[in-house]
């Protein structure tokens, strides 16, 4: 990660304030800024994106036997947050172009047991989300956005985070903006915000007590210790102050590489981003014939470019198999993208020369095929 602004100043202020626990002044400032920037009514800073998703599956009041539809082409935290509540992740296929789950892939999986839909915004793209939210509204289901990779991304010209349901972001060091480890839960709903404040505080009304609204705090719901230290919030605050600057630079890097590699279209395919969606330049990858993908990755490695692949589909994972979280039909787009993906390195402090190097290395490799 790169220091982009006031992180050091805020960290020192937090360090010498004596307020090292959570929900101190830096946390409150971070939450206020994050909510205002994203147009959300409430934001809560928690220990990770994983924790944010676990808060969301608590809010959904999942019970054993409930089903939640979610992608298999995802990081483990979304499916794990469902399974942690005793519910079943029902894995939907992704769209072959959008690399996200969509109405078409989700609708056939709806049953009486479905309680929620949990899409993952791959690479910061929320394509497909509107249709899924409409299904939730129509069928009285809970809608959880795994926007771990999507802070600073937009849909219909507006930043993601404003919702009557719940949006989960990660501030992990691999994300565009970071507090080292950390996450954010956002909602426009006062009722959900009231419950989140209790759930992140071990199921107690201690935050009301700290505000002097009650004379003692009590155990009022189930929850956990999701609150992150004010020291981490200080770093996150410095980063989020620069959200648009970081986002714009990353987007420009991705756009330059993608436009230079356009001439290889046919051999490679990029994630399709519909007109109403703007990503945040979190990731840039392309798919290529799976038979040559690993060879391509080794060629990048030998030139000194850290290109990687992911995700191994979750429905193929040992835990999913032992629990029977296995789809009726194979998820062919999930498999094809997972086996064909080449993800290129992108980071904020990337210099023009480094971008040129990625482009020239890609040209050298791809022109051989």
Ligand X SMILES: Cc1ncc(COP(=O)(O)O)c(C=O)c1O
Residue 14: helix, strand or coil by DSSP? helix
Name which position in 170, 271, 287, 333 contacts ligand X (CB under 6 A): 170
Are the C-beta atoms of 341 and 309 separated by less than 8 Å?
A: yes
Name which position in 24, 71, 152, 183 contacts ligand X (CB under 6 A): 183
Residue 120, interface with ligand X (CB under 6 A)?
Answer: yes
Residue 45, interface with ligand X (CB under 6 A)?
Answer: no
Least CB distance to ligand X at residue 195 (A): 21
Residue 241, interface with ligand X (CB under 6 A)?
Answer: no
Of 148 and 166, the one with the shorter C-beta distance to ligand X is 148
**With CB under 6 A as the contact rule, which of the stretches 73-81, 85-93, 96-104, 326-334 interacts with ligand X?**
73-81
Residue 50, interface with ligand X (CB under 6 A)?
Answer: yes
Of 49 and 161, the one with the shorter C-beta distance to ligand X is 49
Q: Is 215 exposed, middle or buried (0-12, 13-18, 19+ CB in 10 A)?
A: exposed
In the chain, which residue ranges form alpha helices assigned H by DSSP? 7-17, 25-38, 49-59, 76-83, 103-106, 129-139, 190-199, 206-210, 230-240, 243-260, 290-303, 318-323, 332-340, 352-366
Are the C-beta atoms of 31 and 183 separated by less than 8 Å?
A: no
Residue 77, interface with ligand X (CB under 6 A)?
Answer: yes
Name which position in 27, 57, 70, 78 contacts ligand X (CB under 6 A): 78
Ramachandran category for residue 161: left, alpha or beta (phi over 0 → left; psi -120 to 50 → alpha): left
Of 49 and 313, the one with the shorter C-beta distance to ligand X is 49
| Of 361, 153, 152, 155, residue with least CA distance to 257 | 361
Q: Could you tell me how far CA 42 lies from the centroid of its own chain?
A: 18
Residue 361: helix, strand or coil by DSSP? helix
Q: Are strands 67-71 and 114-117 parallel, antiparallel or unpaired?
A: parallel
Residue 172, interface with ligand X (CB under 6 A)?
Answer: yes
Residue list 142-161, contact with ligand X (CB under 6 A): 146, 148-149
Least CB distance to ligand X at residue 343 (A): 12
Name which position in 19, 22, 45, 48 contacts ligand X (CB under 6 A): 48
Which residues are at the interface with ligand X (CB under 6 A)? 48-50, 74-75, 77-78, 120, 146, 148-149, 170, 172, 174, 183
């Amino acid at each position: 990660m790169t220091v982009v602004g006031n992180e050091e100043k805020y960290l020192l202020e937090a360090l010498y304030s004596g307020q090292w626990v959570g929900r101190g002044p830096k946390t409150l400032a971070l939450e206020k800024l994050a909510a205002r920037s994203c147009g959300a009514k409430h934001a809560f800073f928690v220990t990770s994106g994983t924790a944010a998703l676990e808060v969301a599956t608590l809010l959904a009041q999942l019970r054993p036997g409930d089903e939640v539809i979610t992608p298999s082409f995802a990081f483990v935290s979304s499916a794990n947050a469902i399974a942690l509540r005793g519910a079943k992740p029902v894995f939907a296929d992704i769209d072959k172009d959008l690399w996200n789950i969509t109405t078409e892939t989700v609708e056939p999986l709806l049953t009486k047991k479905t309680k929620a839909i949990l899409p993952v915004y791959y690479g910061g793209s929320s394509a497909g989300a509107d249709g899924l939210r409409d299904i939730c509204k129509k069928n009285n289901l809970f809608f959880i956005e795994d926007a771990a990779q999507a802070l600073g991304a937009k849909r219909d010209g507006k930043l993601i985070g404003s919702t009557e349901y719940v949006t989960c972001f990660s501030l992990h060091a691999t994300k565009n903006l970071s507090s080292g480890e950390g996450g954010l839960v956002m909602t426009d709903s006062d009722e959900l915000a009231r419950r989140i404040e209790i759930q992140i505080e071990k199921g107690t009304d201690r935050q009301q007590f700290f505000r002097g609204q009650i004379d003692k705090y009590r155990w009022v719901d189930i929850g956990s210790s999701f609150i992150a230290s004010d020291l981490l919030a200080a770093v996150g605050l410095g980063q989020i102050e620069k959200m648009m600057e970081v986002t714009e630079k990353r987007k420009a890097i991705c756009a330059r590489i993608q436009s230079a590699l356009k001439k290889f279209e046919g051999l490679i395919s990029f994630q399709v981003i519909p007109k109403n969606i703007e990503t945040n330049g979190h990731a840039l990858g392309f798919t290529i014939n799976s038979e040559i993908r690993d060879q391509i990755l080794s060629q990048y490695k030998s030139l000194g470019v850290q290109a990687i692949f992911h995700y191994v589909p979750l429905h193929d994972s040992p835990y999913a198999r032992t629990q029977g979280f296995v789809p009726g039909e194979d998820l062919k787009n999930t498999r094809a993208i997972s086996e064909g993906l080449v993800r290129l390195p992108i980071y904020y402090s990337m210099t023009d020369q480094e971008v040129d190097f990625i482009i020239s290395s890609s040209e050298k490799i791809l022109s051989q095929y």
